Structure 1
C-alpha cells in the first residue's frame, strides 16, 4: 500500500481508503463489517472514512468497534457532518455552529476516539453563513477534536471561498470528497484545477461507479444476488443512473484493457482514478474481505498514456463530464 499527501498538508493517507457508506450498520452485518475492516488493516490501509449520517450514526459505531485496540496514531479516521441525523429535528442537520459542535462530540463518542484526523463538511449549507460554518470548524480544530478540515462535493467557487476563510481563521482546508470515476468526470475541468491551486486533495468516492465498473452487471443479465443493484436500502437508487445498456456495453469493452495489464476491471477503475495526481486517495467499500484484498492491488499501478487514451475512447459516449453536475446535484436547502 502506497501513501500520498492529503493536498499540500503534511498528512499522508493510504492511496486506498476504506469507507462504510451503504455497508456498515445497513447492508452488511456487523461481523462481516468487522472482518472487512480487519482485512483492510492487514492489506496496509490506514485511512478510514465514515459519516454521522451513514445508517443514521450506526456506521460510525460499527467502525469504532472494528478499530478498537488498534494503535490510534497509525490510523487516519475521517468523518463528516451535514445531513440529518437522530430524530431529524430542525437543528439536526446543516453546518450551523450548533450542529457542528454537537455533531463532532457524537461522532467521537461513537468512534471511540478523542479526535478525528479530518472532519468534513458533507455538503455545502446554503442556509448558514459560510463565516459561521468555518468559525465552528476552526473551534473544533483548536479544541483538538479534529486535526484537519475537509469538505465534500463543493464547487470550485465554494472551495475558493472556504479556503480563503479558513486561512483567515488560522487553519487549513485540505481536502474535498467528490464522486469521481472513469464514468463520472465532472470535477476535472473546474474543481481539480482550483484544488491544485489551493493545495486541496481529492478523496474520491464511488471510483468503481457503485460497482458498475467491476463488470458484474451485463446488458439484459440477471442482477447478482447481494449486489448493490438489488439493495432496497439505498444502493439500488444510487446505482440506477448507470444501469443502462449503453453504459453496461461500454464497460464490457474495458475487459481487454484490463487483461492487457493483468488487472481485474475493479482494479483498473481504481488505478485509473489514482492516475490523477490531485487524487490523494480512492474510497472503497466492501461486503466481503476478499473484495478488499482484490482492490488494494490497484495501489501503485501506473497506467501508460496510451492505456488512458484507450479507456477514454471506450467510454467516450457514456462518461459524464459536465462540471455543472456538482452544483446541480447539491442540496438547495437542508433536507429537514
Structure 2
C-alpha cells in the first residue's frame, strides 16, 4: 500500500480507502462486512470512511465493531455529518451547531473511539450560516473529538469560504470528498485548481462509477443478478444515470487498455483517479473480501500519458465535466 499526505497537513492516509456506504448495515450482512474490513487491513489499507447517515447510523456501528481490536493510532477513521439521521426531526439534519455537536457524540459512540481523524460536512448547508457551521467544527476539534475537518461535494467557492473561516478559527480544512471517475469529471475545471491553491486534497468516492467501469454491465444485456444496479436499497438509484448503452459500449473499449497493463478494469479506473495529483485517496467499497484485495492492488499503479490519452479516446465526449453538477441540495432534507 502507498500513502499520501491529506491536504497541506502532516496526516498520511492510504491511497485506497475502505468505505462502507451502501454496504454495511444495508446490502451486506455483518459477517461479510467484518470479513471485508479484515481484507482491507490485510491489504495494507489503514484509512476507513463512513458517515452517520449510512444505513441510518448502522454502518458506523458495524465499522466500529470491525475495528475494535485494532491499534487506534495505526488507523484513520473518517465520518460525516449533514443528512437526516434518527427519526428525521427538524434538527436531525443540516450543519447547525446543534446537529453537529450532537452528531459527533453519536458517531464516536457508534465507532467506539474517542476521536475521528477527519470530520466532514457531508454537503453544504444553505440554510445555516457558514460561520455557525465552522465555529461548531472548530469546537469539535478543540474538544479533541476530531483532528481535522473536511467537506464533501462543495463547490470551489464554498471550499474557499470554508477554508478561510477555518484558518481564522485556527483549524485545518484539508479535504473535499467528491464523486470522481473516468465518467464523472466535474471537479476538474474549478474544484481541483482551487483546492491545489488552498492545500486541500480530494478523497474521491465512486472511482469505478458504481461498478460500471468494471465492464460487467454490457450494452443491451440484462443487469447482472445481485449487482448494484439491481439493489433496491439505494444502489440502483445511484447507478442509473450511467446505464446508457452508449456509455456502456464506450466502457467496453477500456478493456484492451486494461489488458495491455495486465490489470483489471476496476484497477485501471482506480489508478486513473489516483493519477490526479490533487487526489489523496480513492474510496472503494465491497461486498466480498476478494473485491477489496483486487481493488487494493491498484495502489502504486502508475499510468503514463499514452494510457491516459487512450482512456480519453475510448470515452470521447461522454464523461460529465460541467462544474455546475457539483452542488449540494438547495434546502434541508427532512
Note the C-alpha offset of 1:316.
1.4
Structure 1 gaps of 5+ residues are none
Quote the residue 1:6 is aligned against.
Answer: 6
Please tell me the root mean square deviation across aligned C-alpha atoms, in Å: 0.5
Whole-angstrom distance in 2 between the partners of 1:116 and 1:85:
19
Whole-angstrom distance in 2 between the partners of 1:223 and 1:241:
14
Write out aligned runs for 1:23-42 (5 A). Answer: 23-42=23-42
Note the C-alpha offset of 1:222.
2.1
Quote the residue 2:198 is aligned against.
Answer: 198
Write out aligned runs for 1:175-324 (5 A). Answer: 175-324=175-324
Whole-angstrom distance in 2 between the partners of 1:316 and 1:4:
30
Which runs of structure 1 show a deviation greater than 4 angstroms over 4 or more consecutive aligned residues? none
Q: Deviations over 1:105-150 (max 9, x none)?
A: 0000000000000000000000100000000000000000000000
Whole-angstrom distance in 1 between the partners of 2:68 and 2:209:
30
TM-score (norm 2): 1.00
Quote the residue 1:73 is aligned against.
Answer: 73
Note the C-alpha offset of 1:274.
0.2
Quote the residue 2:329 is aligned against.
Answer: 331
Whole-angstrom distance in 1 between the partners of 2:262 and 2:278:
25
Quote the residue 2:51 is aligned against.
Answer: 51
Write out aligned runs for 1:77-226 (5 A). Answer: 77-226=77-226
Note the C-alpha offset of 1:221.
1.4
Whole-angstrom distance in 2 between the partners of 1:319 and 1:34:
35
Give the 3-state SS of the residue equivalent to 1:324 in structure 2: helix
Whole-angstrom distance in 2 between the partners of 1:312 and 1:23:
31
How many pairs align?
Answer: 334
Q: Deviations over 1:214-241 (max 9, x none)?
A: 0000011121121100000000010000
Whole-angstrom distance in 2 between the partners of 1:147 and 1:190:
27
Whole-angstrom distance in 2 between the partners of 1:119 and 1:267:
28
